[in-house]
Amino acid sequence: MRTFASIALLGVASAMPLAENDYDFMNFITQYGKSYGTVEEFNLRAGIFAETHAAIAKINAEQNTHTAAHNKFSDYTHAEYKRMFGLADAPQKDVNATLHKVEGTPANDIDWRTSGVVQGVKDQG
């Protein structure tokens, strides 16, 4: 059975070349087995994905401590994501903590990833 996404891909591909964001969205749909019931939902999810894609690109351009990437939630709204985990908006406290180095502790320049202590990221469902 063909999903709307695969039909849309065929229609778009035959009409005009895909933009880079369209190509990335179609790869996302394929990778995570997504399907959308209507054209409106497809367009909504494509827009959310584009916003997420831009945010990921911005994070990766600004950060050098980690790399952000898409996952199966990249087409969710913030409200859907929060609802899924039962999260509620909690008031944020203004906390300014200061950490002090204690004598005898290891240096800050240990990379625990290369020491074999930290494992790779896993999808825990």
pLDDT for 113: 77
Phi, psi dihedrals of residue 54, rounded to the nearest 5°:
-65, -40
Residue 33 is encoded by which pair of tokens?
Answer: 């087995």
CA-based torsion, 4, 10, 11, 16: positive or negative = positive
For residues 61 and 55, is the Cβ–Cβ distance under 8 A? no
pLDDT digit string, tens, across residues 28-57: 999 999 999 999 999 999 999 999 999 999
DSSP string covering 56-76, please?
Answer: HHHHHHH-SS------TTTTS
pLDDT at 98: 72
What domains can be seen in the chain, in order of their start residue?
Answer: 4-84 (1.10.287.2250)
pLDDT tens profile 56-115: 999 999 977 888 999 999 999 988 988 888 766 667 676 676 766 667 666 666 777 777
| Structure tokens that stand for 44 in this block | 């909504």
Predicted pLDDT at 29: 95
Q: How confident is the model at residue 1 (pLDDT cuts 50, 70, 90)?
A: very low
**Each residue's pLDDT tens digit, 20-30:** 778 999 999 99
Vertex 13: Cα angle to 11 and 19 (nearest 5): 120
Q: Report if pTM > 0.75.
A: no
